[in-house]
Structure 1
Amino acid sequence: MASRSQLNSMIFKMQVTTALLLLLITFSLALAQHEEIPYAEVENICITCSCQNFTNTKILNCHDRSLKHILARWPEQFGTNHTGIEIHATFSKNDIEILQQLPATDGILYFSARRCKIQKLQSKIFIDSPNIFRLDLSFNQLTEEALTPDVFKGPYNEHEYESIKLKELDLSYNYIRDLDSKLFEHINQLSVLNLAHNRFSKFDDGAAEAIGCLKYLEVLDISFNHIKILPDNIFQNLNLHNLNLKNNNFTSIPNSLNMAHNSLESLDISYNPIEKIHTDDFNNFNNLKYLNMSDMMTLKKIEVGTFSVLTKLEELHCKNNFYLTSIHLPTESKFLKILDISNGNLNSIVLEVDLLHNASKNGTLNFWPYIKTIILAENPWNCDCTLAEILKQFKNITIEKDDLSRCSSPIELTGTKLSDLNAVEICNGQHKNRFIIEDPSSSYTPYVLRAKHVVYILITIGLVILSGIIVGFGLSYGRRRLKSDVIRLKSSPIRYISVRNSS
């Protein structure tokens, strides 16, 4: 009978053997994961691709080289010690359906695999390249099933997988509908995330948690999806600077933006079916510099005072809004440089300021001292005293597309350039003494003679002519058929039957 010490020794040996066996199995599985799919040949890669070897930068350009796989290791020309070295590698526009583990390096890696038809990502593809700074996987076929937390795991230490140093991640133009709540737990230094042109219809709690853990995120692009609402807490822990919500299905400004109002500097809400912008939609947006609310085909009203809180606004884009007839401009935005309110249905501008009390000694207003560009073209402007006084203050500013910026009313000013308006004359009613202000040097082209209208007219004429030709051919064909039937009837022989002997 074995002694207790022998028994303990046997148990210990069995435990060690089991542990070694499990470790071997794990290693074999991991190895098999990468070796069951071959890598591209490295030996002549600098002949197949383009290699550039600088002192602190290595560039590998394998763009559009008909490759099926990436490399297992970097070219020999790049050496083995990459400490302090940047590696820029692109495998874009190849047929790489499965992205394998990236070659090992301790250098700073910028990796691109755009337009590669990638459908799957192997687990722990950055385990040997934790210093990856930028990853571009746009224009592929990735779905939410391919994006698991294991993909972004870094090297394994004694207790857990470390994080990787990814700063910029581009997943645009894929087929992603949702995000795993733990997806980004190993890339907590991410500052730029692009999810544009995917298939999101909403951001549920899981997606909100995934994005909410990115405490260093500064730029988020979720444009060109189908999102209607955002969770109220999605931006709660973020220091977001740039947010792109363009071309979604928002019917109002999301309440969740209130969580990011202190840090947000750029906001794009264009191409959304929003009918009304409320006064308090941009409350406390103290640092907003860029605002784009163009191409909103249902926008009918912007409430008074909406822009008054945007004291640091530098660019305001509000063009192609065909149901918007008037706009209250942000007179408190003293840093405004670019104003684009072109190609809409605007007939008036309203300033929340008394022109007389806010004019300086030299006759110009004390707001917008940095204004450089004003785009007013393609609007049916009502050239009244208010509009003339406003434009008078910007006489030293070049109004872009000036040849298209003209009065539509009153009738005696129709066709007059906005830059030619005489505020004194209009405000005193002197313009009513003439039916139309004539400008012999003017190159004004009536609406019906402008390029797009000429095209429409030509298309209409072409359709009418084509319809006439088709009808003519139809009538001609019908007449021919009718005529041939008559001729056949006339040419048929008449048969006579004798009945004399019929009895």
Structure 2
Amino acid sequence: MFQLVEVELYVLIIALVFRNAPYFIFNFCDLQLMIISLSSLQFLERLDLSFNRLRWLPQDFSQSLPSLQELRLDHNLLQHLDSTSLVDFENLRKLDLSYNRIRAMDVRAFSSLSRLSLLNLEANRLNVLKDGLLSRQQRLEVLLLSHNNISLIENEALAPLRSLTLLGLKGNQLEHIRFKTFLKLQTTTTTTTHLQLSFNHWTCDCELQRVFGKIRRVQHLHVDDYKDIICHAPAQQAGSFLESLDSQLCITETASVLVITITVVLAVIGTLVKGEHNWKTNKQTVTCLWSN
């Protein structure tokens, strides 16, 4: 591992001496900004920039690394990914961006990474998984999004992922999910897509139970941690395992609907009876007046 202080000078020396080396690990100590020249590393296949203090990536970061297949940027201070930093990584297979502070990503940030098989975004600060972000990732096999703040997965966000075998979403802010969102994970092979969904803020109601029931009946989908899914709301279900509630949620909801329906029907009948009674009373009054 290289301990660098005068970044540009040392990287230039390393680039000249090890220009054909397939794998580099750089440790920039307390470096706040990464401004380095990688112009002589066109044959580099693996680059490890983890455990630094990188806050951003230069726009031309990927230009001189056409052969790169694995890039580690985990455990840094990155907050944003734009569409230019990764644009030339057409051969990249593995990208690790875990344990950063990423809140937002340009929807085109990964548009050039069509060969990507593993994308690790764990332990960031993402709120939404947007449509179009993964539009070119048909070869992606592993997508790790656990321990973010994700509360919404947009309808088409997962639709392009035809080769996915593992989707990690543990420890987010999900309250509800839509069955159609996961049904679109139609793999082109017979491989099962494993889902990890525990430790979210699940609102346990009949709809959620139905969604999980449908997912578990789909042959190519498997919820690995279904037994660990715990209700966060409503208050009377908080702390309960969804599995232990079985069909109680839907039975309770059906019973509530029946009670409301019966109450409404009785109210309508009561109104009709009262109206009929008033009509008869008024009719009798009118008859008496005419008689007099």
Is 1:327 paired with 2:159? no
- How many positions carry a matched residue from both structures? 245
CA 1:176/1:418 → structure 2, altered by over 3 Å: closer, same or farther?
farther
CA 1:188/1:339 → structure 2, altered by over 3 Å: closer, same or farther?
same
**1:258-269 to 2 correspondences below 5 Å:** 258-260=87-89, 262-269=90-97
Question: Displacement of 1:229 after TM fit?
Answer: 2.3
Q: Distance in 2 between matches of 1:381 and 1:400?
A: 16
**1:89-100 to 2 correspondences below 5 Å:** none
Q: Distance in 2 between matches of 1:203 and 1:216?
A: 21
In the other structure, the counterpart of 1:382 is: 203
Contact 2:216–2:223 (CA<8 Å) still a contact in 1? no
Question: Displacement of 1:231 after TM fit?
Answer: 2.4
Contact 1:286–1:309 (CA<8 Å) still a contact in 2? yes
Is 1:405 paired with 2:229? yes
Is 1:240 paired with 2:65? no
CA 1:222/1:311 → structure 2, altered by over 3 Å: closer, same or farther?
same
Provide Cα deviations, 1:70-117, integer angstroms capped at 9, x if missing partner: xxxxxxxxxxxxxxxxxxxxxxxxxxxxxxxxxxxxxxxxxxxxxxxx
Question: Displacement of 1:367 after TM fit?
Answer: 3.7
Question: Displacement of 1:295 after TM fit?
Answer: 0.9
Higher relative contact order (CA 8 A, sep 6+): 2
CA 1:339/1:187 → structure 2, altered by over 3 Å: closer, same or farther?
same
Unpaired stretches in structure 2, ≥5 consecutive residues: 257-292
Unpaired stretches in structure 1, ≥5 consecutive residues: 1-169, 359-364, 436-503
Q: Which of 186, 189, 202 is the matching residue for 2:33?
A: 202
Percent of aligned pairs with the same residue?
A: 20
Match of 2:77, SS state, is coil
Is 1:417 paired with 2:242? yes
Contact 2:227–2:241 (CA<8 Å) still a contact in 1? no
Query: 2:191 is matched by which residue type in structure 1?
Result: Y
Question: Displacement of 1:215 after TM fit?
Answer: 1.1
Match of 1:374, SS state, is strand
CA 1:403/1:200 → structure 2, altered by over 3 Å: closer, same or farther?
same
Question: Displacement of 1:291 after TM fit?
Answer: 0.7
The structure having more radius of gyration, on CA atoms, is 1
Is 1:186 paired with 2:11? no
In the other structure, the counterpart of 1:366 is: 186
Contact 1:252–1:276 (CA<8 Å) still a contact in 2? yes
Is 1:294 paired with 2:117? no
Match of 1:179, SS state, is helix
TM norm structure 1: 0.43
TM norm structure 2: 0.71
In the other structure, the counterpart of 1:139 is: none
Match of 2:71, SS state, is strand
Q: Distance in 1 between matches of 2:227 and 2:73?
A: 33
In the other structure, the counterpart of 1:256 is: 85
CA 1:403/1:176 → structure 2, altered by over 3 Å: closer, same or farther?
farther
Mean Cα displacement is larger for which, 273-282 or 312-321? 273-282
Question: Displacement of 1:197 after TM fit?
Answer: 6.5
**1:439-458 to 2 correspondences below 5 Å:** none
The root-mean-square deviation of aligned C-alpha atoms, in Å, is: 3.2
